[in-house]
């Protein structure tokens, strides 16, 4: 998904680097709205997954602090190890969709 979004953002950069007729802008606007909708759905799913892993991490951390033991410590480290990449990916998705909004607003102003 990251490669796909980066490629699409590069395509948008290239598209907006030159002037276009109104018909081309309307076509790009429709495509951009569709892509934004897809990526918003992806962003929502990743937000939910990230929140669940954050809750699981906090529960396992509480378990580690109250009960202790290597099993609880291992579980906490595993959840933390999964949570960090999820946060990083969600941050990327959020920023990418915000960039797409910026391009959409550029089309709206024209």
State how far the Cα of 50 lies from the Cα of 89, in Å rounded to an integer: 9
Report the pLDDT value the prediction gives residue 22, as an integer from 0 to 100.
85
State how far the Cα of 25 lies from the Cα of 107, in Å rounded to an integer: 7
This prediction's pTM: 0.82
Report the pLDDT value the prediction gives residue 105, as an integer from 0 to 100.
92
18 conformational bin, left if phi > 0, alpha if psi -120 to 50, beta if neither:
beta
- Non-local CB neighbours of 13 within 8 Å, separated by 6+ positions: none
Residue carrying structure tokens 């607003």: 105
Report the pLDDT value the prediction gives residue 78, as an integer from 0 to 100.
96
Mean pLDDT (10-residue bins), the chain, 110 residues = 92 90 90 94 94 96 93 95 94 95 87
Report the pLDDT value the prediction gives residue 28, as an integer from 0 to 100.
92
Report the pLDDT value the prediction gives residue 59, as an integer from 0 to 100.
95
């Amino acid at each position: 998904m990251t490669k796909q979004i980066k490629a699409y953002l590069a395509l948008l950069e290239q598209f907006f680097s030159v002037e276009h007729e109104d018909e081309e802008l309307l076509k790009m606007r429709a495509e951009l709205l569709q892509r934004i909708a897809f990526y918003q759905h992806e962003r929502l799913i990743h937000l939910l997954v990230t929140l669940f892993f954050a809750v699981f991490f906090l529960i396992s951390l509480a378990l580690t602090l109250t009960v202790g033991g290597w099993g609880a410590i291992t579980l906490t480290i595993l959840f933390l190890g999964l949570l960090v990449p999820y946060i990083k990916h969600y941050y990327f998705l959020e920023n990418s969709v915000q960039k797409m909004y910026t391009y959409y607003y550029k089309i709206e102003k024209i």
